[in-house]
Amino acid sequence: MINKEELFTYVPPKAARLSVCSACQLDCPACEPHAHSVAGKKNGVLGWGYMRAKDFAAFIRSNPSIKTIEISHSGEIFLNPELGLIIKDAFEQNVTLTAGTGVNLNKVSEQMCEDLVKYRFQEIKVAIDGADQKTYAIYRRGGNFDQVIHNIKRINFYKEKYKSQFPILEWQFIPFSHNEHQILIAKKMAMELNMKFKVKLNARVDYAPIKNKELIRKMTPSGAATRDEHQEKHATSVGISCHELWLYPQINWNGMMTGCCANYFENVGNVFEQGLEAVMKSERYVEMKKAVLGISAPSKDIPCSQCPIYFSVPKDVRIRSTLRSLVTGRTHG
């Protein structure tokens, strides 16, 4: 059960989401429009940059309750030139790192391949939407399929060298009309590369919608072919991230607190300058929590007022999904 008073009282989180790099070298057509622009730089609150190792070091030392950090978000973490220092420092401070939001893995040095294993980076989800260069590059514009597979093999080489299961690698496949015919081939390739395989439902229904829905239903744990279908079947929403406000707040590379990974609109303070506790106790941050749970309507002063997910997902579904995540997260987190 969730203690209602605790919902709006500061509880030091056990985990956080730190976006270590917002830059990306690819130009994926369905990428969040507010977040991505390869031609220039990112628009909106995220900007275009990377987290300094000294800021990461100060953060984990100032927040000893945090033992797990998700470092991928809207950019490509491997474009951060100080990533090696961040990974090493986290390892030495017994902080577990994951890249579960996803990486494209196009540009990774040999040293980085080794460091990921040596410093026991826990899990990496690699976005590979195809089984060859021709199909892969339709969506991952500017990407090199063969190079990605090469980098996976190099990481596997060091896993064997160090006799380690880490990082656990997962092949993430978003099905579109142009690649759904390769989904079973990709799954077989993933098995051969000692990777888990996951189908991620397309968040943009207006971009290359799938044709073979029955195939996709067989490939997803929920038995749904689209996000709308998932919501209809299970009364929960795929991709809703409101619970992150409590369990693992999203922080931008420059310390700006966005609260959840869906916020590309506005920050509610700077964690590097004010401290995590002060920001999470702030009036605006608490107001976001109340808006999520339907206690009050979002004012113009908070990001929820600009969030399409907030307004597109039915209120009861949003509340149910959030509370369910909080119960699960606090029981097993």
96-122 per-position pLDDT tens digit: 999 999 999 999 999 999 999 999 999
Which are the contacts of 179, defined by CB distance < 8 A and separation ≥ 6? 129, 130, 131, 135, 136, 138, 139, 173
Encode pLDDT of 182-206 as tens digits.
Answer: 999 999 999 999 999 999 999 888 8
pLDDT attached to residue 91: 98
- pTM listed for this prediction: 0.93
pLDDT attached to residue 3: 66
Can you tell me the mean pLDDT for 76-82?
A: 98
Residue 59 has pLDDT above 90, yes or no: yes
Q: Which amino acid is at 74?
A: S
- In this structure, the number of other CB atoms found within 10 A of the CB of residue 73 comes to 23
Q: Distance (Å, rounded) from C-alpha 179 to C-alpha 149?
A: 17
Q: Distance (Å, rounded) from C-alpha 117 to C-alpha 92?
A: 14
3-state secondary structure of 177: coil
pLDDT attached to residue 154: 98
Handedness of CA 144, 150, 152, 158 (dihedral sign): negative
Q: Which helix or strand (DSSP H or E) is residue 187 part of?
A: helix 183-192
Nearest C-alpha neighbor of 128 from the set 119, 139, 117: 139
Can you tell me the mean pLDDT for 10-33?
A: 91
Residue 138 has pLDDT above 90, yes or no: yes
**Residue that has been written with the tokens 């609260």 in this structure:** 259
Q: Distance (Å, rounded) from C-alpha 31 to C-alpha 36?
A: 7
Q: Pairing between strand 196-199 and 15-18?
A: unpaired
In a 10 Å sphere around its CB, with 0-12 CB exposed, 13-18 middle and 19+ buried, how is residue 178 labelled? middle
Q: Which helix or strand (DSSP H or E) is residue 110 part of?
A: helix 110-118
pLDDT attached to residue 260: 96
Nearest C-alpha neighbor of 128 from the set 120, 119, 138, 118: 138
pLDDT attached to residue 238: 72
Task: Please give the structure tokens belonging to residue 279.
Answer: 């920001």
Angle 277-53-71 (CA atoms, 0-180°, nearest 5)? 65
